[in-house]
Structure 1
Amino acid sequence: MFFERPEAGRRALLLRVHFSDFHAQGDDSHAYAEAPAQAEALELARSAEIDVVEVVTAKRRTPHPRWFVGSGKLEEISRAMAANRCDLLLVNHDLSAGQQRDLETHLRARVLTRTELILTIFAARARTYEGQLQVELAQLKHAQTRLVRGWTHLDRQKGGIGLRGAGETQIEMDQRMLGARVKRVQKKLADVRRRRDQSRRRRRRESVRTVALVGYTNAGKSTLFNALTRATVLAEDKLFATLDPTHRRVTVPGAGDVVLIDTVGFINHLPHDLVEAFKATLEEVSAADLLLHVVDASCENPSDRIDQVNDVLSEIGALGVATVVVYNKVDVAGAHVGLSHANVAYVSARDCDGLEELIELIAQRLGVGANPATVTLPVEDGKTRAWLYRIGAVVDEQLGEDGTIALQVRADKRLMERLQSIPRVSCR
């Protein structure tokens, strides 16, 4: 962005390193823990439309302070890139700015870290104004950490218009420019957050519940969202296919119209800058009445992914929100569809199997009682009767001898309070 670097192509070598002594690295040791799964790194590359032609692995006790890997492994990487005509090195870790600069200088090729690869995908996926702002903020925050001496253009500049004094360096000017852009984007995002907060307050005034879908990326959230709402949100077999939050209304028997929110997927070692930048979106999760934690039942270690999603939920203050765990893709995993217990559901969103049981579980978690209440209303009040049928709350109907209509209704607390406020309607 602000410094001259080799052009990045689409033909790449992937580097994955296991560090056996990362706990000795101090406070930043987490950045040098064993790299995330190789399969996931390859999926990230595929989602960014990058062709990984070879994977190079290495083992070290600690990262090399200059090149991240030892000189022997560096030469192996250089030979492999030349043999495969690669113009890009993907490092499945985060690097210091100095390490990245020195690798690019030695290899004469672009080096992308895991964070930068994820940012690249996010930039390609953002469609809305809000999404583009959030990605830009994350990119700017990351760029601020990349400004180091040694890039070819970061030499001392002469004074002049726009430069502070006769000796401001290019790196100082870049820092100032980045800081100004960060402030402008943050101001625009603050306006977005205010508008979202107003929408949430309006929904609360109207007693409309919100249910947010969360989960590891590519767990099938958008497919489930489409199945529940009959919408057509983009659902692809790619990481981060959905980036911008989508809202749709869905009817839950006994709870009425509920706003269902499809959100961005999480991933292992989700860059902190992304979490910070996407606060406007992630606040929808922490403010929801219920979370549907969608889990890919066919993945190798679903419990690990559940833990990783919970780590992000904890970071955004949403771990205490009521949650239903939804194991999706059971048609692939071979689990029993529709088997629900203790806030867990098993579904196939693709085949629309198990959705009725899931909706029933959602209703229970939103406070819809198992035992119907009796709602009595005058026969001429067709509007209230039609409304109760529309939201799926009516279990049974009988016509009384006095000309009233007695409805057996499943309802949550909010719906009962609303019914009790209607003239000539009695509830028991």
Structure 2
Amino acid sequence: MNNEISVQSAVENTPISTALSSSENGRDKAIIVHVFFSQDKNLEDLAEFQLLAQSAQVDILQIVTTSRSTPQAKYFVGQGKAEEIAELVKQSDADVILVNHQLTPAQTRNLESLCECRVVDRTGLILDIFAQRARSHEGKLQVELAQLKHLATRLVRRKTGLDQQKGAIGLRGPGETQLETDRRLIRVRIAQLQNRLEKVSKQRNQNRQTRQKADIPTISLVGYTNAGKSTLFNRLTQAEVYAADQLFATLDPTLRRLSVQDVGTTILADTVGFIRDLPHDLVSAFKSTLQETTEASLLLHVIDASDTRKQENIEAVNAVLEEIQADNVPTLSVYNKIDRLDNIRPHIEFNDEQQPIAVYISAQANLGIDLLFDAIRQRLRNEILSLSVSLKPAQGKIRHAFYRLNCVRNETIAERGEYLIEIEIDKIEWLKLIKRFPELEPFNPVKNQE
């Protein structure tokens, strides 16, 4: 960029890393704005937004609420309420206005002009929390990509004298408006990030294919943010993943080995928490991470049993699972935090086919973890195949493998010395044996089922 021409750039002047700039004490002072669009005032939405603000390290000075039937086009809130907010900003010396709704770029600009203060909507606040929490290289790339996509829709023409194209001789600008320059720079950066994430995604895919070839099942933890996924992950795997009573405490996905009786080695994946109205830019940016969920053998849907809005939270998680096309993956509901409830003991719920569909536990208090392992075992335990196999005398290695797996139920020797063996074997173990001993392929009933 030409250093001699002083032009204002949205790219240079808008921090990519965070929507909330640090004040002197490291925390922004904020006014929260919430609009009720129905007569039934849903205070839980407002309470959740306050938790989001606290998770973003913000000091809440005041909460402004108003009721409307529809959003106002110019300010989202009414003209009078917007002027009231502007007066509050001056009186309290607030740094930022946090709006618990998704604003259009025009509404954001109009409120900023009127209040002379930064305005961050719900999407911007969630992106900011993600920016603060990203630790891994991949997580930082994903957050920056989501923020740039969000910023791209909010670039505006600045009132500067030199950066606009003019039609007459002597009045032409540098050839490209600053707005166009910013858009081009963002497009270039987005393309760079997508290329890097594509490489990360390929690496994840290779690792996933390696696990699939080895027939290692993957269990993925999903759930509403702050449902206790990381605490449960630590309890199951003896790991030390960061866990805290706050929204989006975990951002970077973590994978650990987990041994389950009758199943063997599995991989347990801790994923980012979901929330109502999760920004679409985040869903697309975290595509490679969420791929662990879409290709899992089993989802553990962790639910805060003590939350009064647990049913709404379940629906919000299911909506995201549907969006990432993971709604068909087998799911086991895990109702966590039962220690906060009265008269609820750890137990397993079964469906009509006697298959576990829900487990009630407390990861923090270490209640019902053995029941959860049992439910996982029952859900992952594969169908048992009953087969009759004929082995030649020279195929002693295969016979030895059968006996090592303790799957032989009956054995006779034919006139010509062949071993006629009846086995009962786990389907996955059988498929592993076929990979080791292709001679078993003629006895394989699985290929006919597929």
Q: Give the alignment's TM-score, normalised by structure 2.
A: 0.78
Tell me the distance in 2 between the aligned counterparts of 1:412 and 1:153: 72
Question: 1:426 matched to which residue of 2?
Answer: none
Q: Secondary structure at the match of 1:218?
A: coil
Equivalent position of 1:28 in the other structure: none
User: Mapping of 1:110-259 within 5 angstroms?
Assistant: 110-149=118-157, 151-152=158-159, 156-157=163-164, 166-259=174-267
Aligned to 1:338: 347
Contact map agreement 1:338 1:355 (CA 8 A) in 2: no
Report deviation, 1:205. 0.9
The TM-score, its normalising length taken from structure 1, stands at 0.82
CA distance in 2, matches of 1:297, 1:355: 15
Which secondary structure state, in structure 2, belongs to the residue aligned with residue 40 of structure 1? helix
Match of 1:105 among 90, 110, 113: 113
Question: 265-274 or 100-109: which moved more?
Answer: 100-109
1:422–1:287 Cα change, 3 Å: closer
- Residue of structure 2 in register with 1:19 after alignment: 37
Q: 1:326 to 1:350 in 2, by over 3 A?
A: same
CA contact (8 A) 2:385 2:426 kept: no
- CA deviation vs aligned residue, 1:180-215 (integer Å, no higher than 9, x gap): 111010011111111111111100111111000000
8 Å contact kept, 1:338–1:346: yes
Pick closer, same or farther for the CA change 1:319–1:421 going to 2, 3 Å.
Answer: closer
Q: Could you tell me how far 1:237 is from its partner in structure 2?
A: 0.7
**Counterpart check, 1:265 vs 2:273:** yes
Is the contact made by 2:259 and 2:266 (CA closer than 8 Å) also made in structure 1?
yes
Shift of 1:336: 2.0
Match of 1:285 in 2: 293
Partner of 1:329: 337
Q: Tell me what 1:355 maps to.
A: 369
- Please identify, of 355-364 and 276-285, the stretch whose mean Cα deviation from structure 2 is larger: 355-364
Q: For the residues of structure 2 that align with 1:223 and 1:154, how far apart are their CA atoms?
A: 56
Q: Once the 2 structures are TM-superposed, how far is the Cα of residue 97 of structure 1 from its aligned partner? A: 1.0
2:288 aligned counterpart, secondary structure: helix
- Give the whole-Å Cα distance in 2 for the aligned partners of 1:230 and 1:410: 34
Q: Deviations over 1:35-55 (max 9, x none)?
A: 970111011011111011211
Residue of 380, 386, 401 corresponding to 1:366: 380
Please give the secondary structure, in 1, of the residue aligned with 2:359: strand
Deviations 1:272-314 (A, max 9, x none): 0000100010111001111000000011111111110000000
1:60 CA drift (Å): 1.5
Identify the structure with bigger relative contact order (alpha carbons < 8 Å, sequence gap 6+): 1
In 2, the alpha carbon distance for the partners of 1:223 and 1:7 equals 31
Q: Are the counterparts in 2 of residues 255 and 412 from structure 1 also a CA contact under 8 Å?
A: no
- Aligned pair in 2 of structure 1 residues 143, 201: CA closer, same or farther (>3 Å)? same
* 3-state SS of 2:32 partner: strand
Identity over the aligned pairs, expressed in percent? 45
Give yes or no for contact 1:212–1:263 (8 Å, CA) kept in 2: yes
**What is the rounded CA distance, in whole Å, between the counterparts of 1:292 and 1:138 in structure 2?**
27
In structure 2, C-alpha distance between the alignment counterparts of 1:422 and 1:198, rounded to whole Å: 22
Distance in 1 between the 2:109 and 2:161 partners? 12
Shift of 1:96: 1.1
Distance 2:148 2:271 in 1: 22
Task: Evaluate the alpha carbon distance shift between residue 221 and residue 245 of structure 1 in structure 2; reply closer, same or farther with a 3 A threshold.
Answer: same
Q: Is the aligned partner of 1:413 residue 2:427?
A: yes
* CA distance 1:108–1:54, shift in 2 (3 Å): same
| Bigger CA radius of gyration | 2
Any unmatched runs of 5+ in structure 2? 1-9, 15-19, 167-171, 352-356, 388-395, 408-422, 438-450
Pick the aligned partner of 1:62 from 59, 67, 70: 70
Q: Show CA shifts across 1:160-198 (max 9, x none).
A: xxxx98442111111111111110100111111111111
SS in structure 1 opposite 2:335? strand
Unaligned segments of structure 1, at least 5 residues: 22-32, 389-393, 397-408, 424-428
What per-residue deviation string (whole Å, max 9, x for no partner) do you get for residues 223-252 of structure 1?
000111011101111111111110000111
2:252 alignment partner AA: D
Rounded to whole Å, the distance in 2 between the matches of 1:153 and 1:299 is 51
